[in-house]
């Protein structure tokens, strides 16, 4: 076996989900030499929508038009929540920087504005969210105005049913109707897959054939909705071509995961961080993490590269997620942080992890488990002190939040990554000055 190679950097980001990608992006934007370790596969389950804060308090299921008003109330009532640690101006900057970077990689979002928007889901429910891709924004406008609207789907695409959406919303949207068509060239296929359709529609000929099938169905429609299959790497081009040819607003509706919008988001983030010089180790994992005393660096031993690999970093951001990202591991009696064994804020006993009622409005205590941090986003050891002066944490691994129920998953990831990286830059300046 070859000796492990060694690379040096300013900051190593462990994790490649939304928080890890955001942390690597923000670090590189600040001119920090960054290495990112981890697989971004969790982003394949993303809808492409960027929630900021939609529900608060979660027990009351209160929906908010203004996520910033919700954040202000959160900061007053739940100061330990990670997002309550950030000024509104910082959260705005984080989101603007994030969507600007996505646009530079070819994935454009509608202007963010001040308010949440409501969008359709693939089962006909309505979701409150903040950041909406350009290919979906006409759907938010149609949902609000409810003009005559046609929803189109494809026979064999089992993860999306226009008929189901119309059945769910029809009484509240009388002008909403649906049509199912055959995808050109796949008339005999028993099952279709969204990613295959998205790639096929990047062909001009395939687009024209599909558009020609839809035109006779338009009737009085003033907008047309499709499952989110209008292109993959060239989604903007495909969407624009459909709007021009059909002569009206066209919008996508997110499909069930894994989804084309998730593939687009992952691809755009990989492009964005790579353009900024981030060195990605997307097939590697951290076998060991050792900290030097004082101002010395951290050493990360990686698995996944031939002969192994070593990263020497002046700072480390832990963005490994919770259970699905394997940042936290649940054992019979307790939850543990998976790499360093850091103490985890959690219920006192397993019997109190969950409520008896799965749908209890107050949620489950285990969903608020995670790492405690200080004011500089540094995880704490058993004595309540920073585990290492330049170890930081961001994303869903942080305690005192229930991102799924609060509809703040992307907001938590992007905002806390911004906060953590600000502290990384500050600490490294201090070390450099010393």
Residue 433 has pLDDT above 70, yes or no: no
Residue 419 has pLDDT above 50, yes or no: yes
Mean pLDDT of 155-183: 94
Q: Give tens-digit pLDDT for 185-207.
A: 999 999 999 999 999 999 999 99
Mean pLDDT of the chain: 93
Q: How confident is the model at residue 370 (pLDDT cuts 50, 70, 90)?
A: very high
* 110 alpha-carbon distance from chain centroid: 16
pLDDT at residue number 170 = 86
Q: How confident is the model at residue 3 (pLDDT cuts 50, 70, 90)?
A: low
User: What is the distance between the alpha carbons of residues 50 and 264, in angstroms, rounded to a whole number?
Assistant: 13
Q: Give tens-digit pLDDT for 134-166.
A: 999 999 999 999 999 999 999 999 889 999 999
Q: How confident is the model at residue 4 (pLDDT cuts 50, 70, 90)?
A: low
Q: Give tens-digit pLDDT for 281-329.
A: 988 999 999 999 878 999 999 997 655 799 999 999 999 999 888 899 9
pLDDT at residue number 258 = 84
What percentage of the chain carries pLDDT values higher than 70? Answer: 98
Domains of the chain: which residue ranges? 5-105+264-433, 122-253
Mean pLDDT of 28-32: 98
What percentage of the chain carries pLDDT values higher than 90? Answer: 84
CATH topology of domain 122-253: Rossmann fold (3.40.50)
pLDDT at residue number 434 = 44
What is the pTM for the complete model shown?
0.94
Instruction: Spell out the SS3 assignment of the chain.
Output: CCCCEEEEEEEEEECCCHHHHHHHHHHHHCCCCEEEECCHHHHHHCCCCECCCCECCHHHCCECCCHHHHHHHHHHHCCCCHHHHCCHHHHHHHHHHHHHHHHHCCCCECCCCCCCEEEECCCCCEEEECECEHHHHHHHHHHHHCCCEEEEEECCECCCCHHHHHHHHCCCCCCEEEEEECCCCCCCCCCECHHHHHHHCCCHHHHHHHHHHHHHHCCCCCEEEEECCCCCCCHHHHHHHHHHHHCCCEEEECCCCCCHHHHHHHHHHHHHHHHCCCEEECCCEEEEEEECCCCCCEEEEEECCCCCEEEEEEEEEECCCCCCCCCEEECCCCEEECCCCCCCECCCCHHHCCCCCCCCCCCCHHHHCEECECCCCCEECCCCCECCCCEEECCCCECCCCHHHHCCHHHHHHHHHHHHHHHHHHHHHHHHHC
pLDDT at residue number 307 = 56
Mean pLDDT of 268-284: 95
Mean pLDDT of 353-373: 82
User: Is residue 252 within 8 Å of 226, Cβ to Cβ?
Assistant: yes
Q: Which residues of 83-99 are buried (b: 16+ CB within 10 A; e: fewer)?
A: bbbbeeeebbbbbebbb
Q: How confident is the model at residue 410 (pLDDT cuts 50, 70, 90)?
A: very high
Residue 357 has pLDDT above 90, yes or no: no
Q: Give tens-digit pLDDT for 211-270.
A: 999 999 999 999 999 999 999 999 999 999 999 999 999 999 999 888 999 999 999 999
Mean pLDDT of 384-410: 96
* Domain 122-253 in the same topology as domain 5-105+264-433: no
User: What is the distance between the alpha carbons of residues 172 and 166, in angstroms, rounded to a whole number?
Assistant: 10
Mean pLDDT of 124-132: 96
pLDDT at residue number 432 = 65
pLDDT at residue number 347 = 83
Mean pLDDT of 341-359: 81
pLDDT at residue number 67 = 97
pLDDT at residue number 1 = 38
CATH number of 5-105+264-433: 3.50.50.60
User: Is residue 51 within 8 Å of 254, Cβ to Cβ?
Assistant: no
Mean pLDDT of 397-422: 96
């Amino acid at each position: 076996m070859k000796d492990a190679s060694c690379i040096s950097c300013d900051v190593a980001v462990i994790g490649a989900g939304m928080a890890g990608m955001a942390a690597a992006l923000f670090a590189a934007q600040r001119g920090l030499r960054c290495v990112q370790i981890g697989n971004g596969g969790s982003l394949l389950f993303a809808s492409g929508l960027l929630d900021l804060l939609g529900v608060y308090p979660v027990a009351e299921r209160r929906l908010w038009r203004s996520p910033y008003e919700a954040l202000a109330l959160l900061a007053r009532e739940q100061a330990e929540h990670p997002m309550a640690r950030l000024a509104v101006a910082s959260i705005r900057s984080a989101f603007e920087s994030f969507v600007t970077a996505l646009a530079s990689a070819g994935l454009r979002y509608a202007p963010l504005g001040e308010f949440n928007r409501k969008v359709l889901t693939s089962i006909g429910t309505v979701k409150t969210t903040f950041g909406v891709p350009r290919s979906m924004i006409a759907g938010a406008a149609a949902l609000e105005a409810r003009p005559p609207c046609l929803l189109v789907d494809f026979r064999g695409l089992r993860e999306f049913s226009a008929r189901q959406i119309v059945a769910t919303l029809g009484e509240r949207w009388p002008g909403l109707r649906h049509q199912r068509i055959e995808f050109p060239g796949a008339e005999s296929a028993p099952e279709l897959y969204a990613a295959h359709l998205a790639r096929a529609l990047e062909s001009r000929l395939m687009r024209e054939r599909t558009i020609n099938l839809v035109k006779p169905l338009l009737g009085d429609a003033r907008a047309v909705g499709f499952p989110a299959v209008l292109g993959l790497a060239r989604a903007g081009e495909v969407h624009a071509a459909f709007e021009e040819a059909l002569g009206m607003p066209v919008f996508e509706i997110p499909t069930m995961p894994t989804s084309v919008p998730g593939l687009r988001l992952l691809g755009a983030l990989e492009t964005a961080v790579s353009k900024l010089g981030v060195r990605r180790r997307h097939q590697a994992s951290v076998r060991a993490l050792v900290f030097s005393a004082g101002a010395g660096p951290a050493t990360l031993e990686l698995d996944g590269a031939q002969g192994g690999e070593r990263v020497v970093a002046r700072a480390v951001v832990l963005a490994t997620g919770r259970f699905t990202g394997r940042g936290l591991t649940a054992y019979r009696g307790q939850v543990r942080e998976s790499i360093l064994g850091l103490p985890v804020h959690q219920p006192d006993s397993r019997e109190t992890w969950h409520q008896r009622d799965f749908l209890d409005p107050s949620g489950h205590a285990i969903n608020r488990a995670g790492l405690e941090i200080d004011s500089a986003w540094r995880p704490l050891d058993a004595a309540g002190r920073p585990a290492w002066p330049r170890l930081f944490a961001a994303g869903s691994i942080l305690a005192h939040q229930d991102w799924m129920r609060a509809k703040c998953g992307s907001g938590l990831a992007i905002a806390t990554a911004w906060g953590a990286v600000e502290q990384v830059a500050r600490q490294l300046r201090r070390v450099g000055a010393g």
